[in-house]
Amino acid sequence: MTALLNWAGNYAFQAPRLHRPNTVDEARRLVAGSRQVRAIGTRHSFNGIADTQGDLIDLGALDPGLAIDPDRQTVTVGAATTYGALAAYLHGQGWAIHNMASLPHISVAGAIATGTHGSGDRNGNLATAVAAIQLITADGELIDVRRGDEGFNGMVVGLGAFGIVTRLTLDIQPTFEMRQDAFIDLPWTMLLTNLDQIMSSAYSVSVMTGWSTPTVGCLWLKTRLDEGSPLELPAEYLGAHAVAAGPDDPSLSLNPFGLPGPWSERLPHFRADRDPGPTEQIQSEYMVPRGQAMTALARLRAIGDIIDPLLYASEIRTIAGDDLWLSPSNGYDTVAIHFTWKREPKAVGALSAEIEDMLIPLGARPHWGKLIHAPASRLAGLYPRMADFRELMTKHDPDGKFRNAFMAKHVFG
Ligand SMILES: Cc1cc2nc3c(=O)[nH]c(=O)nc-3n(C[C@H](O)[C@H](O)[C@H](O)COP(=O)(O)OP(=O)(O)OC[C@H]3O[C@@H](n4cnc5c(N)ncnc54)[C@H](O)[C@@H]3O)c2cc1C
């Protein structure tokens, strides 16, 4: 096959074969007959986590088969369905999920496998909504694993290593309306002295910034209208200035500010029906224990002059802790510090490695779907259940059919 690239174009897949089965049975036969196999989502990860030396399977041709269970308050969805498609369907039926990533174009299974997250002090990452998983195992069997089953908490943020997930069941809640408001020029000193107050001031809060300026670029507050969002914005918030509302312009890639709308069009930053902007970027991100966030931010500010020339923007968000073994928020609440870098692989590789060295001693865990430098020996110290994860993987996949170079480097080492 001609070289398949990830969305950003910074990673070329090694897999010699790509399959798009039309039925689950076809996918089962492929898995049973393959020596090395992985599922691929929408290819939005920035590393080789989805790659294999054998057969790549894209489930995008399968029927999404969306099914809501109003009594259990769950939705079951085909693994390759995008969050954008899921969100539009759920809102249309009067339902919602608790959170979205910035980008709605990513697949449900691909996002969950890497612990993808949005923001909000009370919001766990997207994987925390998973109530059940249906997957094809190494021998081609189709199994269901439910919350409460042995090993379930290890398999959810599974890095694609337990098999080909065909369907996922997610917790839902009644739909809600939201508004996102933006404030510019928040002084860095205000952010640092009021971090907890600012990050808890809305359902979902994002700080968009560089590191060398006296003010942060933009503060985004996403408020649920059913939780009493004020009708009028204050003109000023902790020294930052409110941005005027609108416009709701379908030609823009971002969802609008200051205008009420459904959660499905306010929780994600990007519109589902638009390209999100230049693909010439690389991303890295660290989930820092909340108690270490101030130290992490101060260390990054100290090298702000070195970071900013290579950076498009950073984003600071919060994530509630969970009990999923390889979730970057396992065991405690975290502050997520994200970098959207210019696509200058050499310079970004060197600087992001330096940043990783600076943050890992604080307990920071790298995002599984973005640039990662640390080998398994270093990452294992960050995850109390890493040994259990390896054992569970080996039990499910004794011949290593779903292993790849990424797993060898970052999980097994
Ligand atoms: C512009 C942009 C914005 C982003 N914003 C955010 C954000 O706000 N928050 C955040 O946390 N991350 C964000 N990310 C990162 C992104 O969410 C993750 O990289 C996510 O894993 C991508 O999903 P995908 O469908 O492209 O999966 P892929 O990259 O294709 O695959 C990721 C992993 O999932 C596995 N997988 C995929 N499908 C299956 C399946 N059916 N069965 C088993 N395993 C499977 C693959 O094997 C691989 O291990 C962003 C990325 C981009 C490019």
User: Is 106 close to ligand 1, i.e. is its CB under 6 Å away?
Assistant: yes
User: Is 91 close to ligand 1, i.e. is its CB under 6 Å away?
Assistant: no
**Among residues 174, 195, 226, which one ends one of the domains?**
174
Counting the structural domains of the chain, the total is 2
Question: How high is the pLDDT of residue 209?
Answer: 98
Question: How high is the pLDDT of residue 231?
Answer: 64
Lowest mean pLDDT among 67-81, 215-229, 291-305: 215-229
Supply the DSSP symbol for 62.
S
Res 230 pLDDT > 80: no
Question: How high is the pLDDT of residue 235?
Answer: 84
- CATH number of the domain to which 161 belongs: 3.30.465.10
Let me know whether 50 and 70 are in one domain.
no
| Ligand 1 atom with least separation from CA of 107 | 25
Taken in order 125, 103, 218, 355, the sign of the CA dihedral is positive
Q: How far apart are CA 337 and CA 141, in angstroms?
A: 39
Residues 117 and 317: beta-carbon distance below 8 Å: yes
Q: How far apart are CA 235 and CA 214, in angstroms?
A: 20
Q: Residues 382-395: what's their mean pLDDT?
A: 98
Residue 51 lies in a domain: yes
| Ligand 1 atom with least separation from CA of 163 | 43
User: Is 42 close to ligand 1, i.e. is its CB under 6 Å away?
Assistant: yes
By most ligand atoms within 8 Å of CB, the mutation choice from 38, 107, 403 for ligand 1 is 107
Q: What one-character-per-residue DSSP string does 180-200 give?
A: EEEEEEEEHHHHHHSHHHHHT
**Among residues 174, 201, 221, which one ends one of the domains?**
174
Question: How high is the pLDDT of residue 278?
Answer: 82
Question: How high is the pLDDT of residue 1?
Answer: 61
Which residue's C-alpha comes closest to atom 44 of ligand 1? 160
User: Is 107 close to ligand 1, i.e. is its CB under 6 Å away?
Assistant: yes
Res 233 pLDDT > 80: no
By most ligand atoms within 8 Å of CB, the mutation choice from 59, 108, 116, 317 for ligand 1 is 116
Q: Residues 156-174: what's their mean pLDDT?
A: 98
Q: Residues 150-158: what's their mean pLDDT?
A: 98
**Among residues 155, 174, 193, which one ends one of the domains?**
174
Residue 243 alpha carbon to ligand 1 centre in Å: 31
User: Is 179 close to ligand 1, i.e. is its CB under 6 Å away?
Assistant: no
Q: How far apart are CA 299 and CA 222, in angstroms?
A: 28
Instruction: Report the 3 state secondary structure along 68-106.
Output: EECCCCEEEEECCCEHHHHHHHHHHCCEECCCCCCCCCC
Q: What percent of the chain shows pLDDT beyond 90?
A: 92
More confident residue, 251 or 39: 39
Res 152 pLDDT > 80: yes
For the chain, the average pLDDT equals 96
Supply the DSSP symbol for 234.
-
Look up the domain containing 35 and give its range.
17-59
| 310-341 per-position pLDDT tens digit | 999 999 999 999 999 999 999 999 999 999 99
